[in-house]
Amino acid sequence: MRKLRTQAEQAYVTAMTTNAIDVTEATFEQEVVERSYQTPVVIDFWAAWCAPCRSLGPVLERAVAARGGAVVLAKVDVDANQMLAQSFGVQGIPAVKAVADGRLVAEFVGAQPPAYVERFLDALAPRPSAPEEAEPLTPEEAAERWRARLDEDPDDAEARVGLAGQRLAAGRLEEAETLLRPVEHLDEAAELRGRLRLLREAADAASPYAEAARQAVDGAPGEALARLLGAVRASGGAERDRARELMLDVFRVLGDGDPLTQRYRRHLTMALY
């Protein structure tokens, strides 16, 4: 892995380690494993040269800070701690792993949008709305709270979307889809619906767009959109429609305000008309 850092990259290192625990192979056991028995720890595997890492880092910091100490952010520089990254099976960065009670409980890869990060952290420690809710929760406890709200009111859209997000983060796609079906028309469910369809497409070995869908959910949405746009331009009929629909799903995951969404939405319109 690359060792040299530009001045801008070094500035990023300084900023990020100011508000998070900088963990090494020597301190990992104490700072992450032992600490996780009291407070869930979110590990951010990153590198200063990684542009998606620099995008995700501030999003993670803000979301963790909003939880008032109910969750800890630990940063692992993969260049300086290659054995640690290998032991966690890190193949692409940024890679985020959540540890609670000494074990891995959730993870995701890529520079995900703020809404996704919030839902990921909600499964560990929901943002407190009152002092008594500031205690850290395990993903199972968070899911139980969402479920209890749904049992009380099946029309509680916030609880339905929250539980679906937790299930999706845990890889339980069927449960997430069932939960989302009654609220699939709501804007609040758009990002999760898009992510769910992309995950299904990525898992379909027979799909010509499986690789593009995998890129979209693994932190390379620009590459995914470029690939899908090429398919829209080069194909026709059902294949073209499918590529277009997947581009719309990537837009939903990124959000309307993302520069990639704005740029590729224009390209898609030109390709179609």
Catalytic residue numbers read 50, 53
Residue with tokens 């990060």: 117
Q: What are phi and psi of 235, to 5 degrees?
A: -115, 180
129 contacts: CB under 8 Å, gap ≥ 6 = none
Q: 123 in helix, strand or coil?
A: coil
The CA angle 106-45-165, to the nearest 5 degrees, is 30
Pair of tokens at residue 117: 């990060």
Quote the CA–CA distance of 49 and 226 in Å, as a whole number.
23
Q: 46 in helix, strand or coil?
A: strand
Q: What are phi and psi of 17, to 5 degrees?
A: -80, -5
Residue with tokens 């995914």: 224
